[in-house]
Structure 1
């Protein structure tokens, strides 16, 4: 298999053997791709600097195995520069994609949602709404998305004044009378999440808890390295 000049973002790199790099790429047509860039660590050339996270490149690779051989990479003249918490947030998005996206499984929508998120981070956008929007979009693309606007058991619309429980595999349904208050979700909060409206603190808090709950079984017990970067930074993750 040979692929030529596919747009790609660098998600992660790690040393491979003595002089090479193993690179995780995000592409629109092939999803996440792992490829070896041979010999790029043996000389300090300007081209080596292209192989950094958040770089958008045009890449070519070949191979039939899980690990492809990167045969060409060049700048796509699309440069992003993230700093401080926006940089850490970018690392978080990258780690989610590396951990959760199956290799060579096309998710065209995720590629462009990721690109939009990076551009918005570079512009200094409010981090928390951006992360929640991306997390819920990623869950939807992976087949684990929930409908924030409908009661899955009664098939009625979520009511703003109602209170709901969440089943991670099913969705939201009217809460039983004896459910502890801390386990309840107010309908107006769910509807705000459905609209992408994170202007209220209650919505932000509920969305963060929900995203973590839904992502946890997919991520497993291994902690996210990017979250550790936020320990002393009062994280928005």
Structure 2
């Protein structure tokens, strides 16, 4: 068995004295693991860092085997990402989210999104909105997508202000007014037809929104806790946004 694909490195763990098992998100083969012989050498270690985009050749005798990777660089992002606390937490969070998906299931759209986010993880004004949209995409891929396009009560597509925690559907400000204390705020920047800025308050509302549905539909049913990297990312994002405002 053999295939060639591009991928973004999510992590690596030691294997034996000289090798590593590399975890990648690939364009056509989903999240995929493979052995890299000699991966702990001085020459290979800088290449096998989270965030780097690489060319991969995977070989195995049988499809279900771990197999071995041959790795060549395409875009070395790791050094840039390591210089930013936000980016370090961000690449860890991307990996944690992608591990919610079955290994080797292809998700080309998620891969392209990860590639875009990786290019901006050290830019808070871009990374914040991109990551929360990635969480929405993850919910969609897992079968728990939210409908933020029209009001669940009236069908209206304007003045959307809330999300129902029961249905995951948007509600207009007027229709939701009687139950506003029970509804989740819907930040304007998440609505496709608006041009609202992603202020810190809006970002906080957005991450509370995705966090609610991740906890209820994904983490709790699987007996999981929220990834530590998510809290680290949000704390770093708040510091960065507040620092820029200051």
TM-score by length of 2: 0.77
**Offset of residue 203 of structure 1:** 3.1
**Contact residue 37 and residue 69 of structure 1 kept, 8 A:** no
**Contact residue 16 and residue 22 of structure 1 kept, 8 A:** yes
RMSD, aligned CA: 2.9
Q: Does 1:117 align with 2:117?
A: yes
Counting matched residue pairs gives 225
**Offset of residue 212 of structure 1:** 0.5
Structure 2 counterpart of 1:132: 132
CA distance change for structure 1 residues 201 and 124 in 2, over 3 Å: closer, same or farther? closer
**Contact residue 86 and residue 122 of structure 2 kept, 8 A:** no
**Contact residue 148 and residue 190 of structure 1 kept, 8 A:** no
**Offset of residue 176 of structure 1:** 8.5
Q: Distance in 1 between matches of 2:160 and 2:229?
A: 37
Q: Distance in 2 between matches of 1:134 and 1:226?
A: 15
Structure 2 counterpart of 1:72: 70
- Structure 1 regions of 5+ residues with no counterpart? none
Structure 2 counterpart of 1:215: 214
**Contact residue 27 and residue 108 of structure 2 kept, 8 A:** yes
TM-score by length of 1: 0.79
**Offset of residue 8 of structure 1:** 1.0
Matches within 5 A, 1:143-182: 143-152=143-152, 154=154, 156-160=155-159, 165-167=164-166, 170-172=168-170, 175=176, 177=178, 179=179, 181-182=180-181
Structure 2 counterpart of 1:31: 30
Runs of 4+ in 1 over 6 A off after TM superposition: none
SS of the counterpart of 1:68? coil
SS of the counterpart of 1:137? helix
**Offset of residue 172 of structure 1:** 3.5
**Offset of residue 228 of structure 1:** 5.7
**Offset of residue 139 of structure 1:** 2.2
Q: Does 1:94 align with 2:95?
A: yes
